[in-house]
Structure 1
Amino acid sequence: MPVRRVVLPRRAGSAAEHSAGPARPGAPVRPVLLVVAHGSRDPRHAATVHALARRLRSLRPGVRVETGFLEFDSPSVASVLDRLARQGVRDVVAQPLLLTRAFHAKTDIPGVLRAATGRHPALRIRQAAVLGPSPLLGAALERRLYEAGLTPADKRSTGVVLASAGSSDPEAIAVIAEIAREWRHTGWCAVRPAFASASLPRTEDAVRELRAAGVRRVAVAPYVIAPGRLPDRIAAGAREAGADVLAEVLGPSPEVAALLLRRYDQAAEAPVPPLGLLAGHA
């Protein structure tokens, strides 16, 4: 059966969006929310990040939202922080747009933030926790599967490949495997993790494994936020192995936006350590 993509209109005002909550009138100025994305040569990546930032601004009009990239795209995280410091901003929450704690969350981002506090001692920066794991991400994954044509009634006859970008970090790989195990208890007939790079199995191998186990319908759910080279590799693997359903990436979904604001709130309420940096933990 060929892979099919069906994009259904999203309902406005979902419960996830309302849970984020607007800024209270008369409330003190909140720290700037700096969304830190990896960046990509694929223009769809930056477009998705900016769409997510727009959704955040609409949900929290009292919070200033900026975006910065580690590489490939502009502005860079360092240049955004320099600009904020010149403008007199004193409090920033840096939110990694990452689903697991791997190299970028543990090394790259803290290094950039430490360098910024070294250049601007008055700038207080907290690094928020990465987004995953979270039940909200599970809800976003199911949303994308249903938009691709599945229904809740299909769960018992559908196997799902949970396809992530991949990492050489054992902690990140363990998180994906644990999410897959948890999903097996939510009604899907079978769930397998897969990775687009660094780790095995690949998406196409996981699809074939489910077929060999007798699963009649196989869906691939990309556990990635924005389009790019690795999500394209996931899609190619799904097509090569004959997956029945291929969901879209998580993108600026209401659940992702609500989760990002939850992480922001948690970091904003935490004290700033002596070095001016709070390294986020899930």
Structure 2
Amino acid sequence: MIPLIAVAHGSRDPRSARAVAAALAVLRTEHPEWDVRLAFLDLNTPSVPQVLDAVAADGHRRAVVVPLLLGSAFHARVDLPAILADARTRNPLLDVTCADILGDDARLVAAARDSIASTGVALDDPSVGIAFCAVGSRRDEANTATARVVPRVTAGTAWSAVACYATAAGPTAASASELLARSGCSTLVVAPWMLAPGLLWDRACAAVVEAHPDARIAPTLTTHAAVGHVVAERYLAAVHRNTVRAA
């Protein structure tokens, strides 16, 4: 089987790598015949070059990289393509295909809604306000893409929601929560449009809880089986594209 290399962002917070690894463990359980490997863009090991070199050393001639990224920001557009180009130069016999990012897949949107509901709020409760928090980007297009996810997450509910960002853009989670509270929301939930926990997420949550001690914190997306399912689909689609191209 063509190796699947799942590429995560990486974090100084060890919970992040553990959460991603747990999501991939579910994938391995559902597809025990697959060769699933985890690599990181930064801050954790093994790195993407290390894993690609190992795949080549194992004698594989094809590999599929699945970026575990929700948005098309710097890492998806610049960083990862450059790393893969360098790996292809070092390993000319290895055909590396990059799958689509996870993005705003409908299953992840539903997983975000489930994550919010798991805090105990009712779907039909109009007093619920959601500070929907992504990492944030210096690219307005990336932040706008996050904002477009919000009405999809709240579809079919009575919730109010505001997109916010942990870094690089505004509003912050704290200011989004203040806006929701002023608009009459008495139950505040900080919900992550993030795959895994980390320092940025903790900081955003802490700022909200400082002002609103009763605010609820929704779990990150890697706690949901949808992540593994989307990774599997991105992998199979990339394998199919590669097969059609080679035919």
In the TM superposition, 1:112-261 aligns within 5 A as 112-154=83-125, 156-242=126-212, 244-261=215-232
Give the count of matched residue pairs. Answer: 245
Aligned to 1:54: 25
Question: Shift of residue 33 of structure 1?
Answer: 0.7
> Do the aligned residues in 1 keep the contact of 2:124 with 2:157 (CA within 8 Å)?
no
Aligned to 1:83: 54
Question: Shift of residue 114 of structure 1?
Answer: 0.8
Q: Distance in 2 between matches of 1:64 and 1:188?
A: 43
Q: Give the letter aligned to residue 188 of structure 1.
A: A
Distance 1:56 1:218, change over 3 A: same
What is the TM-score when the length of structure 2 is the normalising length? 0.93
Q: Matched residue of 2:114: which SS?
A: helix
Q: Matched residue of 1:41: which SS?
A: coil
> Do the aligned residues in 2 keep the contact of 1:57 with 1:63 (CA within 8 Å)?
yes
> Do the aligned residues in 1 keep the contact of 2:112 with 2:153 (CA within 8 Å)?
no
Q: Distance in 2 between matches of 1:64 and 1:252?
A: 22
Distance 1:171 1:131, change over 3 A: same
Cα RMSD for the two superposed structures: 1.9
Structure having the larger proportion of residues in helix: 2
Q: Give the letter aligned to residue 159 of structure 2.
A: C
Q: Give the letter aligned to residue 89 of structure 2.
A: G
Q: Matched residue of 1:251: which SS?
A: helix
Q: Distance in 2 between matches of 1:64 and 1:238?
A: 41
> Do the aligned residues in 2 keep the contact of 1:34 with 1:65 (CA within 8 Å)?
yes
Distance 1:34 1:177, change over 3 A: same
Q: Which has the higher contact order (CA 8 A, sep 6+)?
A: 1
Q: Deviations over 1:190-231 (max 9, x none)?
A: 110000000000001001101111122221111111111111
Q: Deviations over 1:244-282 (max 9, x none)?
A: 3211111242011111111111111113899x9xxxxxx
What is the TM-score when the length of structure 1 is the normalising length? 0.82
Aligned to 1:12: none
Q: Distance in 1 between matches of 2:132 and 2:61?
A: 40
Q: Distance in 2 between matches of 1:228 and 1:110?
A: 24
> Do the aligned residues in 1 keep the contact of 2:23 with 2:225 (CA within 8 Å)?
no
Aligned to 1:20: none
Runs of 4+ in 1 over 6 A off after TM superposition: none
Q: Give the letter aligned to residue 105 of structure 2.
A: S
Q: Matched residue of 1:151: which SS?
A: coil
Question: Shift of residue 184 of structure 1?
Answer: 4.5
Q: Give the letter aligned to residue 125 of structure 1.
A: V
Q: Give the letter aligned to residue 47 of structure 2.
A: S
Aligned to 1:8: none
